[in-house]
Amino acid sequence: MSFLGIEGHDRADLEVILDLADEFTEVLNRPIPRVPALQGKTVAHVFYESSTRTRLSFERAAKALSADVMNFAPGGSSVSKGESLKDTVLTLKAMGPDLMVVRHGSAGAPTRVAAWTGLPVVNAGDGAHQHPTQAMLDSLTIRRRFGKLDNLRIGIVGDIRHSRVARSNVAAFTTLGADVVLVAPRTLLPVDSREWPVTLSESLDEVIGDLDVVYLLRIQAERGGASVFPSLPEYVSRFGLTNRRFAAMNPEAVVMHPGPMNRGIEIADSVADDERALVLDQVANGVAARMAVLFWLLGGERSG
């Protein structure tokens, strides 16, 4: 089995992963934060796009489960000599990994890798398509804060059109019972967003006081996100979480962001550093969430 997206997984699947992540959080808080759950297994990290949080937390997660790791990045590899994705992953497979974690700029690449190799594959972000482990660590962060997602009102704000995080989070949050509102200029919404299980708003000021979670996205300039509105100051004035808008939030509400943040654009500098901004909790929870996903896919025969 692979974990390629949130779609196709029901609430029970997601809750199994979240419950495992709670158990692995306890492991990570021990003096020796390691268990032998995946001893003898090897996880290959295959990252064709840059990453700080996802790559390093997958590595930390695999090692905390006592798995061995292989790390591949195209820089310095034979990709520069023209080797294809298919030949690259078949070459890595010949070295004996049990699972591949794949990030790639093209939607669907992890699915192709799973088909070519026959190995379990975890999608670590593919184009603007899916980022399912981000959705799991975000759901874990919200559940740990509020106890549940049911009936919470979560606003996802910004460049939704180019965001794999938004696609995975909408699916996970609504499956777990939350109400999601997408807040963005029309040009930054996907063309099919009216078919998503969400409500839409073009005014952050109108919804900000009703939200339990304000989930901010950066403008994905590398995917063309900056070319569809007049200017950054105009974007900030309408959709940035400024100090004024932060003050208008419910006092119990929290701010989240998948990172990397663009301070002064989607989030004011002082808001990013406020204790109600859970950005670093998200990063910390990413290790336990990824341990849970790796164990869920590879540890079955041991846990059974």
User: In this complex, which beta carbon is closest to ligand CP, that of residue 131 or of residue 143?
Assistant: 131
Please, which residues have CB within 8 angstroms of residue 281's CB and are 6 or more apart in sequence?
141, 144, 145
User: In this complex, which beta carbon is closest to ligand CP, that of residue 9 or of residue 131?
Assistant: 131
Per CB under 6 A, does 125 bind ligand CP?
yes
Q: Are 193 and 166 in contact (CB under 8 A)?
A: no
User: In this complex, which beta carbon is closest to ligand CP, that of residue 35 or of residue 213?
Assistant: 213
Its sign, for the CA torsion 95, 101, 103, 108, is positive
User: In this complex, which beta carbon is closest to ligand CP, that of residue 176 or of residue 289?
Assistant: 289
Q: How far apart are CA 269 and CA 40, in angstroms?
A: 45
For residue 81, the minimal CB distance to ligand CP (Å) is 26
For residue 95, the minimal CB distance to ligand CP (Å) is 24
Among 160, 258, 294, 296, binds ligand CP (CB under 6 A): 258
Residue type, 92: L
User: In this complex, which beta carbon is closest to ligand CP, that of residue 134 or of residue 141?
Assistant: 134
User: In this complex, which beta carbon is closest to ligand CP, that of residue 225 or of residue 258?
Assistant: 258
Per CB under 6 A, does 127 bind ligand CP?
no
For residue 263, the minimal CB distance to ligand CP (Å) is 15
For residue 230, the minimal CB distance to ligand CP (Å) is 27
Q: How far apart are CA 192 and CA 39, in angstroms?
A: 44
Q: Which stretch binds ligand CP (CB under 6 A): 26-34, 208-216, 225-233, 256-264?
A: 256-264
Per CB under 6 A, does 132 bind ligand CP?
no
User: In this complex, which beta carbon is closest to ligand CP, that of residue 51 or of residue 201?
Assistant: 51
Q: Which stretch binds ligand CP (CB under 6 A): 81-89, 237-245, 252-260, 270-278?
A: 252-260
Token code pair at residue 84:
């294809």
Please, which residues have CB within 8 angstroms of residue 263's CB and are 6 or more apart in sequence?
269, 272
Whole-number Cα distances in Å, 139 to 19, 83, 143, 251, 268 = 11, 37, 6, 20, 24
For residue 51, the minimal CB distance to ligand CP (Å) is 3
Q: Which of 103, 107, 205, 217 lies closest to 170 in space, CA to CA? A: 217
Q: How far apart are CA 240 and CA 268, in angstroms?
A: 7
Per CB under 6 A, does 259 bind ligand CP?
yes
Q: Are 62 and 43 in contact (CB under 8 A)?
A: yes
Looking at residues 37 to 96 of the shown chain, list those that interact with ligand CP (rule: CB under 6 A).
51-54
Among 117, 134, 139, 141, binds ligand CP (CB under 6 A): 134
Interacting residue ranges for ligand CP, rule: CB under 6 A:
51-54, 125, 134, 258-260
